[in-house]
A and B are shown apart, each in its own frame.
Chain A
Amino acid sequence: MASVLDRTKAALDGFERQEIEINGINTVVYSAGSGEPLVYLHGSGTFAGFGFARHWVKTHRVILPYHPGFGESADDARIESINDHVLHYLDLFDALGLDQINLVGSSLGGWIASEIAIVQPARIARLVLVSPGGLVIKDVPSTDLFTVPPKDVSVYLVADPAVLAPFMPEGHDLDFMTLRYRETISSARLVWERPGNPKLDQWLHRISAPTLLLWGEGDRIKPFAQAETWLKLLPNAQLETMAGVGHLPLDEQPVAAAGIVSNFLNESPAAAKPAARITKKAS
């Protein structure tokens, strides 16, 4: 029977699909293009596909892995913390022969990306965090998606629910429901007990790469005001905001959002700036 997930898959037509065994986990990676590697880490739902990634293919070798327990990658109960995801990705990058990478992460993917950049700062050429999770900010709390009734989730995710409509099932779609159930389980492993890493603020100073924060001004999951805290904690970050956009800028305005990311990645490196900032911090 046809599933709406066929549309999710179709979003990546033209990408090469690879299955790689990482420490016993069948990991699915899509890639296309050539140039410096750009790894994109997705959020906690993959049903909207990654159509926006096409815009990066002209300038980069775009690599789109599915996290364990999400999308087309296999489930593995051993992956139960952000640290497990971080180490899984370090294994995957090694397996793919990726030395230095540009790392882009959205929401949950932004949390994983920032934790990777904390552990191996030198590996990251440039870092892009799109409405990232992970940071627990008392004064600007995130919306716990588990408290949002399922029928309201779309309006929390995006400013205009029509954006997600093509990827929503029209009737009973067991494949779609199973994907959502799997991904909810995989997310719950990470965030049921606590909404993020309460110690992330303690370590973000280790990220040396030039960092772009991209945020929708209408984000109802990670309120836009959280960007201020990230900017304070990241040594070398800049902020781009998008009006009329919610939690998923890349899905909501793919051309504009992917364009902002491209512009940032294609800037020439700001010489010695990271080092200068770190020295200043250390003194």
Chain B
Amino acid sequence: MPILPDTEFMAWHFMPYYDLPENIDDYESLWVDFPNKYFDPKKGHEYYERYLSELVLADKLGFDGVCINEHHNTPYSLMPVPSILAGALIPQTKGKICVMGTPAGLDHPHRLAESYAMLDVMSGGRMEFAFPLGTPMEYWSSNVNPVTARERQREALEVIMKMWTQEGPTSHSGRFYNYRYLNMWPRPYQQPHPPVYLVGSGSPGTIELAAEMGFGYSSTFSPITSQLAAQKTLKERAAHYGHTIRPSQVPIVCMCYIGDDDESALAEMEPHVRYFFTTLTRAGRFIDAPGYLSLEEFQKRNGRMLPSSHGGAFDWAQIRQQFRVVAGTAKTVADTIEKWAEEAQTSRIIFQIHRGNMPHWKVVRTITGLANEVIPMLKERRRLADAELSVAAE
């Protein structure tokens, strides 16, 4: 089956800092307490220039939008404040910008609502926002209690939605937040509010919250089967709350690389995925924060915080089976994307266009191949199918 009508294609960057010391494998964790003396600001400047240029290129070549996200205390990501990057991208791009995003409870919710509304007005309504709970590592890097993080997130989202959708001045009285005068200037450009998603790793609580609030939902680092199950649950639970989930609200995320042929493309991609999983994601004991999992979930996972794909030896075949990873010619990639999109009934494809320590030329090649070949191929197949349908109907 061809892609759904109006399918949109996004380019997501993780912006890692990968000029790391030779003995990097001596460090149990590259998160939370990994010494920041290894951050060289001059190199950091070059990284920002390069990474922003890669996202701008994706926009120029015709991607529908770009995505950025947030992490703290780690070379895994140079994006502790993604709104700043969005602000830098606005004048350089024409498409959508998805900030995927600041955990609602890790900032003051009124300030987050304001930052995001500013971006929406500045961009003329091109913004989308995804709210994660944040990894356990983000809680080690902040003063917010992970034990009550979920309740705090829910209330912070209530504050943000209230500010975006209700006429001000209004007020809020809750357990974590009390505001006498919520009265935002500016209000968001998009009405009633910019598109909102929750992103997570498949925790039932997050899916339920998205369903209740009628938000989109996507999980990145859970196996495909549990991602599909999560999105199925989302649709069912959302219906229970009177919301209909549209195909654009259940994005899929793909790690993608374009090469000359399937074999060489896989070989060219592998070292960077390996670096990503064995080095950049390594978080040692900080993968566990008190109360981050409910007791039931902790027991269900047999006392392990993460699925077995994390922390073990790198298994390229298993990674490719578990997650949406594709490398090859434009045709191979298009065929695979088509299959994944159909299986997930989604009209939103997010490409992770950079992985681990992938050099600039490989990223440019992938962005170019996706924009010039894969995406047009997918759209053309859709157009042809529609044409056949209309011929058949005549």
Contact = CB atoms under 8 A, between A and B. Distances in A.
Interface in A178-200: 178, 181-182, 184-185, 187-189, 192-193
Contacts, number: 42
A201 interface: no
Contact of B302 (A75, A146, A174, A189): A174
A172 B145 contact: no
Nearest to B284: A149
Contacts of B108: none
B290 A184 contact: yes
A98 interface: no
Contacts of B383: none
A182 B295 CA distance: 7
Tell me the interface secondary structure of chain A in the complex. Answer: helix
Interface residues of B, number: 13
A182 B290 CA distance: 8
B147 A178 contact: no
A150 interface: yes
A67 to B, nearest CB: 15
Interface string B242-255: 00000000000000
Nearest to B299: A178
Contact of B303 (A149, A150, A172): A172
Given A75-B295, A178-B295, A178-B298, A189 B303 contact: no
Contact of B146 (A149, A172, A181, A192): A192
B290 A187 contact: yes
A140 interface: no
Interface in B275-302: 285, 290-291, 295, 298-299, 302
B26 to A, nearest CB: 14
**Most chain B beta-carbon contacts within 10 A, residue among A172, A188, A189, A193:** A188
A177 to B, nearest CB: 4
24 contacts: A75-B295, A80-B148, A146-B290, A149-B285, A172-B302, A174-B303, A177-B298, A177-B303, A178-B299, A178-B303, A181-B290, A181-B295, A181-B303, A185-B147, A185-B290, A185-B291, A187-B290, A188-B147, A188-B290, A189-B145, A192-B145, A192-B146, A192-B290, A193-B143
Interface of B: 143, 145-148, 285, 290-291, 295, 298-299, 302-303
